[in-house]
């Protein structure tokens, strides 16, 4: 093998990585379905789409998730999480909720799932799609299989039961070597069959054999500001949730039922995009039960961290804290809590008159105004629990920002006009460079042209030298 010792080592390492993969493995896809029981509390491994306002959202056992009585009493399968798929709130029959998995290779000949519809008047289907299929406007040639979702036992309340269903996908499964199977996507679609009644179908435990990750997640990168500030599209990207004694964190959407009567009429701030994180104690509402939401480490891109919050009741204890990056999210040490403050709660309530309150936290001590990437990395954390035993009141938080959010690698320092050397100052050597560019002795780079073109004519001429 020719080349330097370093080049040879790199080549050998790459060869060893390839040999470690199963023979014939297609590393473009995972084996089996990721997060088929939605136990992450979000749509990791899936995507949501809407046709005429159709709705898809992750729901949790014990929560009010419907206008029908008894939705909070439905017993869920083991993970206690599911996805609700339904038409929009006005509920025309043409409004369809669409839930689609990431492409995967089956790791079993049978696709299994559990489903429960609130009412018999729904139309729910399962599709098997090609990996490249458009999830909304799917070409007929990209639909490999389509079957109705069974709805033999609809209902809500304590006697409602998720029903298992099996779908034969053996034509896409390779029993000898599953990694050589045919990649597919699974999709659920649902709409009401009774105009004006947006009944939901709940889906969970979607499996095509054991999940095995073959596709490596992209390497993590530190962000300036907070990515995913409002949990859009039911995703927890950039955050983690934790629970003390069963506390619940749950992404909620404007216009939907969650936990309390009239919660569906709460107006969300424009900055939320219609999404928020719901924090509350466990279903029984024990005071020692706490929900915990923690961001990934980030570097502030502004001197102020802002968010919007609304609590259902005055009888909650909700705090926002700034933590060191290495802090344990559940039991941070006192030295790892850099600052902490109560979440403002002077206007609690639900319904159409409820209002989120914007709150600011001074993080200027961690912010580097001259060069933000050189600021101090931190995490922001929200915690909440009820102070009235037996009542699991919620607090909503959303639009959590600390300046514009971007990966650190995408930050570009502002152009200092006249600074041709790139040292952040305008000195004699910059004038010398300008003269050399003006008379053609040197050719400016794109950055030097942006800094040296003082009159906006797209050139560095003698005019800039004399300005």
Looking at residue 103, its pLDDT comes to 98
Q: Which residue has the higher pLDDT, 463 or 346?
A: 346
Average pLDDT score over the chain: 91
How far apart, in whole angstroms, are the C-alpha atoms of residue 445 and residue 255?
Answer: 52
Looking at residue 9, its pLDDT comes to 38
Each residue of 390-415: b (16+ CB within 10 Å) or e? ebbbbbbbbbbbbbebeebeeeeeee
Strands 248-253 and 337-342: unpaired
* Over residues 401-408, mean pLDDT: 97
CB-based contacts of 113: which residues, under 8 Å, 6+ apart?
A: 36, 126, 164, 165, 167, 203, 204, 205, 206, 207
Q: Is the pLDDT of residue 26 over 70?
A: no
Looking at residue 147, its pLDDT comes to 98
Q: Is the pLDDT of residue 379 over 80?
A: yes
CATH code at 176? 2.60.120.260
* Over residues 337-355, mean pLDDT: 96
Answer whether residue 449 is part of any domain. Answer: yes
Looking at residue 281, its pLDDT comes to 95
Answer whether residue 421 is part of any domain. Answer: no
Condensed to tens digits (0 to 9), the pLDDT of residues 254-265 reads 988 876 778 889
Looking at residue 10, its pLDDT comes to 37
Q: Hey, CA dihedral for 250, 380, 217, 291, is it positive or negative? A: negative
Contact of 233 with 43, CB cutoff 8 Å: yes
Percent of the chain with pLDDT over 70: 93
How far apart, in whole angstroms, are the C-alpha atoms of residue 449 and residue 444?
Answer: 6
Do 127 and 37 share a structural domain? Answer: yes
How far apart, in whole angstroms, are the C-alpha atoms of residue 138 and residue 132?
Answer: 10
Beta bridge pairs of residue 225: none
Looking at residue 258, its pLDDT comes to 75
Beta bridge pairs of residue 361: 305
Looking at residue 71, its pLDDT comes to 93
Q: Is the pLDDT of residue 164 over 50?
A: yes
**Which stretch of 182-196, 389-403, 419-433 has the lowest confidence by average pLDDT?**
419-433
Q: Is the pLDDT of residue 21 over 50?
A: no
Question: What are the structure tokens assigned to 272, written together?
Answer: 């939320």
Answer whether residue 387 is part of any domain. Answer: yes
- Categorize the per-residue pLDDT at 153 as very low, low, confident or very high, splitting at 50, 70 and 90: very high
Do 196 and 323 share a structural domain? Answer: no
Contact of 162 with 202, CB cutoff 8 Å: yes
* Over residues 439-461, mean pLDDT: 82
How far apart, in whole angstroms, are the C-alpha atoms of residue 375 and residue 338?
Answer: 15
Do 288 and 231 share a structural domain? Answer: yes
**Which stretch of 8-12, 88-92, 116-120, 371-375 has the lowest confidence by average pLDDT?**
8-12
Do 273 and 357 share a structural domain? Answer: yes
Do 143 and 44 share a structural domain? Answer: yes
Domain that holds residue 340: 223-410
Answer whether residue 15 is part of any domain. Answer: no
Q: Is the pLDDT of residue 380 over 50?
A: yes
Q: Which of 207, 233, 259 is the last residue of a domain?
A: 207
- Categorize the per-residue pLDDT at 17 as very low, low, confident or very high, splitting at 50, 70 and 90: very low
Answer whether residue 20 is part of any domain. Answer: no
Q: Is the pLDDT of residue 57 over 70?
A: yes
Do 50 and 188 share a structural domain? Answer: yes
* Over residues 452-458, mean pLDDT: 81
Answer whether residue 5 is part of any domain. Answer: no
Distances (CA, A) of 445 to 434, 437, 448, 459, 460: 12, 10, 5, 11, 11
Condensed to tens digits (0 to 9), the pLDDT of residues 207-243 reads 999 999 998 887 889 999 999 999 998 999 999 999 9
Answer whether residue 377 is part of any domain. Answer: yes
Angle at 43 between CA 143 and CA 86, to 5 degrees: 65
Do 190 and 55 share a structural domain? Answer: yes
Do 379 and 251 share a structural domain? Answer: yes
Total domains, the chain? 3
How far apart, in whole angstroms, are the C-alpha atoms of residue 227 and residue 299?
Answer: 11
Answer whether residue 4 is part of any domain. Answer: no
Do 406 and 447 share a structural domain? Answer: no
Q: Is the pLDDT of residue 7 over 80?
A: no
Do 376 and 338 share a structural domain? Answer: yes
By three-state DSSP, how is residue 366 classified?
helix
pTM of this prediction? 0.78
Do 453 and 357 share a structural domain? Answer: no
- Categorize the per-residue pLDDT at 321 as very low, low, confident or very high, splitting at 50, 70 and 90: very high
- 180 DSSP 8-state letter: G
Contact of 260 with 349, CB cutoff 8 Å: no
Q: Is the pLDDT of residue 272 over 90?
A: yes
Q: Is the pLDDT of residue 20 over 70?
A: no
CB-based contacts of 60: which residues, under 8 Å, 6+ apart?
A: 41, 76, 80, 81, 248, 250
Contact of 298 with 325, CB cutoff 8 Å: no
Looking at residue 15, its pLDDT comes to 42
Q: Which of 164, 179, 207 is the last residue of a domain?
A: 207
How far apart, in whole angstroms, are the C-alpha atoms of residue 113 and residue 164?
Answer: 6
Three-class SS of 260-307: ECCHHHCCCCHHHCCEEEEEECCCCCCCCCEEEEEECCEECCCCEEEE
Do 238 and 190 share a structural domain? Answer: no
Contact of 132 with 151, CB cutoff 8 Å: no
Percent of the chain with pLDDT over 90: 73
């Amino acid at each position: 093998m020719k080349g330097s010792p370093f080049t040879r080592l790199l080549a050998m390492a790459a060869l060893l990585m390839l040999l470690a993969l199963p023979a014939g493995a297609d590393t473009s896809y995972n084996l089996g379905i990721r997060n088929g029981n939605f136990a992450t509390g979000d749509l990791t491994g899936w995507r949501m789409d809407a046709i005429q306002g159709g709705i898809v959202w992750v729901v949790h056992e014990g929560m009010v998730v419907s206008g029908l009585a008894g939705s909070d009493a439905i017993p869920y399968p083991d993970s206690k999480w599911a996805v609700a798929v339904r038409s929009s709130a006005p509920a025309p029959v043409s409004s369809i909720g669409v839930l689609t998995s990431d492409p995967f290779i089956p790791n079993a000949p049978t696709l299994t799932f559990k489903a429960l519809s609130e009412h018999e008047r729904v139309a729910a289907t399962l599709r098997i799609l090609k990996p490249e299929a458009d999830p909304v406007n799917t070409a007929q040639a990209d639909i490999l299989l389509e079957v109705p979702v069974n709805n033999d036992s609809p209902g809500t309340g304590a006697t409602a039961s998720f029903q298992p269903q099996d779908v034969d996908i053996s034509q896409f499964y390779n029993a000898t070597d599953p990694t050589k199977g045919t990649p597919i996507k699974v999709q659920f679609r649902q709409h009401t069959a009774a105009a004006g009644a947006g009944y939901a179908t709940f889906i969970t435990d979607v499996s095509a054999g054991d999940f095995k990750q073959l596709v490596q997640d992209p390497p993590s990168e530190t962000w300036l500001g907070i990515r995913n500030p409002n949990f859009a599209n039911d995703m927890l990207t950039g955050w983690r949730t934790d629970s003390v004694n069963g506390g619940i964190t749950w992404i909620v959407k404007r216009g939907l039922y969650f936990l309390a009567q009239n919660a569906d009429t709460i107006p969300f701030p424009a900055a939320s995009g219609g999404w928020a994180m719901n924090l509350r104690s466990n279903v029984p509402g024990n005071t020692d039960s706490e929900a915990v939401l923690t961001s990934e480490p980030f570097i502030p891109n502004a001197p102020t961290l802002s968010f919007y919050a609304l609590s259902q009741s005055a009888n909650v204890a909700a705090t926002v804290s700034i933590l060191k990056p290495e802090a344990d999210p559940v039991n941070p040490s006192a030295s790892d809590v850099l600052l902490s403050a109560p979440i403002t709660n002077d206007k609690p309530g639900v319904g159409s008159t409820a209002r989120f309150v914007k709150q600011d936290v001074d993080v200027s001590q961690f912010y580097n105004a001259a060069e933000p990437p050189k600021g101090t990395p931190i995490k922001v954390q929200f915690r909440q629990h009820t102070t009235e035993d037996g009542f699991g009141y919620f607090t909503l938080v959303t639009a959590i920002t600390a300046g514009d959010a971007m990966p650190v690698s995408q930050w570009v320092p502002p152009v200092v006009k006249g600074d041709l050397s790139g040292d952040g100052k305008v000195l004699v050597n910059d004038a010398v460079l300008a003269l050399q560019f003006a008379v053609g002795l040197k050719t400016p780079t794109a950055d030097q042209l942006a800094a040296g073109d003082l009159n906006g004519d797209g050139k560095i001429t003698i005019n800039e030298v004399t300005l």
